[in-house]
Amino acid sequence: MVKTGKDFRERSVFRLNNKEELADEEAMKRFQDGDAEAFDILLHRHGSGVLRFISRMVKAGNPHAEDLLQDVFMKVIQNRKRYDSKQKFTTWLYSLARNRCIDYLRTETHRSHASLNTSFFSEEQDEGAPMLDVVRTSERNQEEKAIDNEIRTLLSRGIDDLREEFKEVFLLREVEGLSLAEISEITEAPLSTVKSRLRYAYKNLRDIFVKAGYSRYRQRAQEV
């Protein structure tokens, strides 16, 4: 059984003799050759990110998120011989995670949800440019904190209302930081389609904030 949560975070990271970490693809190749420690490094390195993606796809706080994470890494084990080291490992991994989430959502008729500790007022939107600026300061006054809480609520609800195909590209881009090419491969959609879906997601979410009267806070949010 694959260990998750606290267990995988406590696993030590396997390193080369020169202390440089193995590339994901090399670690996977070693795992294919029977090196269990190479699997540990992949689980340790990517477990948290995959869990975060799963949690936001199937609804934040979903008690099944850890089970789905375990399913994904069991797929890594079961399909290790099928992995082509010429393919970027994270692309393959998130493809497995995406497919498991889709299966779950269809079976359980759940809708995805996101709970992001972010602000949404970057002007950039072309080519899937990052739009979310993480709120870092802890010294805001009460009014600003109240605004931040409302922003997060609006964003969370907005993402929840996005259709599945728009939501997944948004999360893969903005939360996991994957490239458009990687997202295209993961979702098996043309690059132009990925860009179109991102633009749709950005526009929908931005419209929510404009209607709520938050457009005037855009510059301040960028400076936080």
What average pLDDT score do residues 174-183 get? 90
pLDDT band at 77 (very low <50, low <70, confident <90, very high): very high
pLDDT band at 5 (very low <50, low <70, confident <90, very high): low
User: Could you read off the pLDDT of 15-51 as tens digits, one per residue?
Assistant: 444 334 789 999 999 999 999 999 999 999 999 999 9
What average pLDDT score do residues 168-195 get? 92
Structural domains for the chain: 6-108 (1.10.1740.10), 118-223 (1.10.10.10)
Write down the pLDDT at residue 47: 94
User: Could you read off the pLDDT of 47-64 as tens digits, one per residue?
Assistant: 999 998 998 888 766 788
Quickly list DSSP for the chain. ----THHHHTSPPP--TTSPPPPHHHHHHHHHTT-HHHHHHHHHHHHHHHHHHHHHHH-TT-TTHHHHHHHHHHHHHHTGGG--TTS-HHHHHHHHHHHHHHHHHHHHT--------EE------GGG----EE---S---HHHHHHHHHHHHHHHHHHHHS-HHHHHHHIIIIIT---HHHHHHHHT--HHHHHHHHHHHHHHHHHHHHHTT-GGGHHHHHH-
